[in-house]
Structure 1
């Protein structure tokens, strides 16, 4: 297997630099080939890949060309052929217009392109549990265009600047997915997407996280993983149910939809800043500092438990006061299904707002909680 570590613009080796120059020198001919092979390509004013004009010599075009070189294990001839085919594909299928296209109803509401992961990669989250399998997977061409549209929207969030993230993080949520999900119809649509992405979206896969993954699926994946290249296999993370603590090692909680245990509401609430996380042991309680304020103000706050249930108490510790003020106390156990619990508090002066999470409902299991607060503008 070729060493690709020096085939990135921010870490370019001498040999890889020469390959990049070689591929760039071929671009006029490659673009001409694409135009000759496709009437749509011939009619297009410019042929681009992900909005990048490869014939303009800049960081963005270098990064795209290097992706094709890496995808072909440093073989410039193969990279050149793939570029031609990708230019034809994008022109014939009018891929550049997908970002603004409206999806049919059956494809709506399943996906979120939300912020960036802990390494700065754009995040695309897809939930499969409530899909109408017949409608979503029945038309293979429509399904491919649906997934390509999402990829185009996510890739548009990449900067294409030297040293910055070049890949995506994808989250696939399998909660509520029936075991018959792997029908021949579904397999056919997924195979078609895999082929298109493999050929025309090289080096865009950063991490793919499978959450709420059924045990039966996990066993199948493990069995077939021996056939997956090690370089690709390292990009997969398989998480079971209620494993938000691991999920949040990859994604900030504020970018994760409320339904998956995160703090991204639908519609989004007034707060969008970073969250704090806290694991609360069984039969224990833990305090989470939320915000310090220097003067009288109105504070917005949000808390939640990611799985099962917990109780909480909010206190404001005013500077100089002998006892904290109880701001809010849960009337009953707050359930994960309750999602985000929020409110406001008017501080009369400087101090600190804290949340005390109480896990008295569990004898053996810890609870994982989130919280944040900010001054209301």
Structure 2
């Protein structure tokens, strides 16, 4: 599970995984066990770690849409990990979102890349009882120049499936989630999330009208972000991403 070989609760990495499933279910052991079982079954079927290691995704469909950046140590964390989803970079909505399972596989591979950097298997300190969980990550969804989200059925289907699967298979890994450069038509996305996610999780969601405001939302390390997000750091494209294979033919841009 997430790179951790589950053994028993005395093993620190195992205890971290178990605690996350317990917290996702308000310490209800039966519900946590059921969710953990479901997540393990999904991982056995999907094999997301293998997707990350071996799959070359179609660059025309997904290239430039997802990155992972690791920022240096802060006062409370050994490192800060940010997963970026650049939906304004979609070239063809049907190609990217039309095959829901292919989209979910790409998104799962990107999540596994984030988890690889989180490296729970090497953790030596358990999550403090009734304390703040230090083993979590930040996600940013950027909708700059997006013009295809207005109730598009392909986008809605892919979004709904991803939200459902991730809430089941990756609980309590989210520290904060920022939606930047958000257009007004994004209201349905937040409505859909509220259907599948707990109120505590929804509280971690922060819509921002301008990407340049993001650095100010991350005190202590916001200046490490790229200039487009209000910082002074490197472009996210210099970060990590999944493997891509060049497309056989260019995809027509339908979103302009």
Pair in the same fold by TM > 0.5: yes
5+ residue gaps, structure 1: 1-48, 270-377
> TM-score, with normalisation over the residues of structure 1?
0.52
Structure 2 SS opposite 1:157? helix
1:266 CA drift (Å): 6.7
Aligned to 2:142: 173
> Aligned residue for 1:52?
4
Unaligned ranges ≥5, structure 2:
128-132, 240-256
* 1:158 and 1:165 in contact (8 A); partners too: no
Q: Cα gap change, 1:259/1:111 in structure 2, threshold over 3 Å: closer, same or farther?
A: farther
1:249 alignment partner, SS class: coil
Larger radius of gyration: 1
- The alignment status of 1:191 with 2:143, answered yes or no, reads no
Match of 2:176 in 1: 207
Retained in 2: the 8 A contact 1:129–1:173? yes
Match of 1:86 in 2: 39
Q: Which has the higher contact order (CA 8 A, sep 6+)?
A: 2
The corresponding residue for 2:201 is: 232
Contact 2:213/2:230 (CA < 8 Å) preserved in 1?
A: no
Name the CA shift for 1:224/1:190 in 2 (closer, same or farther; >3 Å).
Answer: closer
**1:1-377 counterparts in 2 under 5 A?**
49-55=1-7, 57-100=10-53, 101-105=55-59, 106-116=61-71, 120=77, 121-131=80-90, 132-160=92-120, 161=123, 162=125, 163=127, 165-178=134-147, 180-217=149-186, 229-241=198-210, 242-244=212-214, 246-249=216-219, 251-254=221-224, 256-262=225-231, 263-265=233-235, 268=238
Q: Normalised by the size of structure 2, how large is the TM-score? A: 0.74
Q: How far apart are the structure 1 equivalents of 2:107 and 2:181?
A: 21
Looking at structure 2, the residues matched to 140 and 64 of structure 1 have their Cα atoms a distance apart, in angstroms, of: 28
Q: 1:125 to 1:225 in 2, by over 3 A?
A: closer
Counterpart CA distance in 2 for 1:69 and 1:266 is 33
In 1, Cα distance between the equivalents of 2:18 and 2:141?
29
Task: Summarize deviations over 1:126-182 as a string: whole Å, max 9, x none.
Answer: 111120211110100001011111111111222433257221100111101015443
Instruction: Check conservation: 1:54, 1:65, Cα contact below 8 A.
Output: no
1:172–1:210 contact (8 Å) kept in structure 2: yes
SS of the residue 1:112 aligns to = strand
Distance in 2 of aligned mates of 1:135 and 1:69? 38
Of Structure 1 and Structure 2, which has the larger fraction of its residues in helix?
2
**Superposition deviation, residue 211 in structure 1:** 1.0
Deviations 1:266-295 (A, max 9, x none): 7659xxxxxxxxxxxxxxxxxxxxxxxxxx
Counterparts of 2:159 and 2:47, CA distance in 1: 21
Superposition CA RMSD, Å: 2.8
CA distance 1:244–1:51, shift in 2 (3 Å): closer
